[in-house]
Amino acid sequence: MPIVLVHGGGFDSRCWDRLLPEISGPTLAVDLPGRGRHPAPLGSVTLSSCAETVAEEVDSAGFDEIVLVGHSLAGCSMPMIAEHLGTRVRHAVFIACTVPGDGQSAFDTLDPSVQVMISERSSQTAPAVMDGELAKIVLGNDLDDEQLAWCVERLVTEAPRLVSDPVSLDGMKSVQSTWVRTMLDLIVSPEKQLCFAANLPGCRVRDLSAGHMCMVSQAAKVAEILNQIARSDA
């Protein structure tokens, strides 16, 4: 079963580069609009345009059925991607994702103090790439120096509406799903990930001793999980 990889916030498809050699079957790492192969004004990027772009990429690849895999903020776009692709999505895998309740946004899931801080900062400055020092704190707890530098080189500016727009979970009602819970995660805590996984009907949770960028720090172990799912759903 082909695997389609959707990057999270602040990254593009290159964040999967260390995972790709470990995947045993056909694989497609997509760029969401506003980065990589799909340049667009970041302010125009919506969850709907992300779903349309991924569907177009899947069509171009000639995949009839897929395992859809997303990381981090991709948890907000994956339900709409699944809705666009319908029964072609045989299984969805959420890796350290944010999946708000139906009708909520990623912003709504943040602690109130963090919401205030983000609102104040965004009103004073334009969207920007995460700086290296912050990346070291929130991404680097299980990365060595070389891995952290590799990640920092691939950081990009995020599209703001992917954080603020409400999410519809209609597309997940009939899709089998698995959650890879990153137990060392400093961005999306393991406890919060359990709450997000509970928003997905029948989602199976698998724990991994890794930080947020597990596809870099634990590429072989992540690939083992994905390869197993792709084989069992083929």
Q: Which domains does the chain have, with CATH numbers?
A: 3-232 (3.40.50.1820)
The number of beta carbons lying within 10 Å of the beta carbon of residue 123 is 7
Q: How far apart are CA 78 and CA 93, in angstroms?
A: 9
pLDDT of 124 reads 57
What residue ranges in 58-190 does DSSP mark as E strands? 66-71, 89-95, 176-182
Cα distance between residue 32 and residue 40, in whole Å = 10
pLDDT given at position 219: 98
pLDDT band for position 134 (cuts 50, 70, 90): confident
Range with lowest mean pLDDT among 13-22, 103-112, 116-125: 116-125
Task: Please tell me the predicted confidence (pLDDT) of residue 127.
Answer: 74
Q: How far is CA 72 from the centre of its chain?
A: 4
Residues 60, 62, 68, 71, CA torsion sign: negative
What percentage of the chain exceeds 90 in pLDDT? 86
Split at pLDDT 50, 70, 90, the class of 148 is very high
Greatest extent of the chain over all pairs of C-alpha atoms, in Å: 50
- What does the mean pLDDT of the chain come to? 94
Which pLDDT band holds residue 128 (cuts at 50, 70, 90)? confident
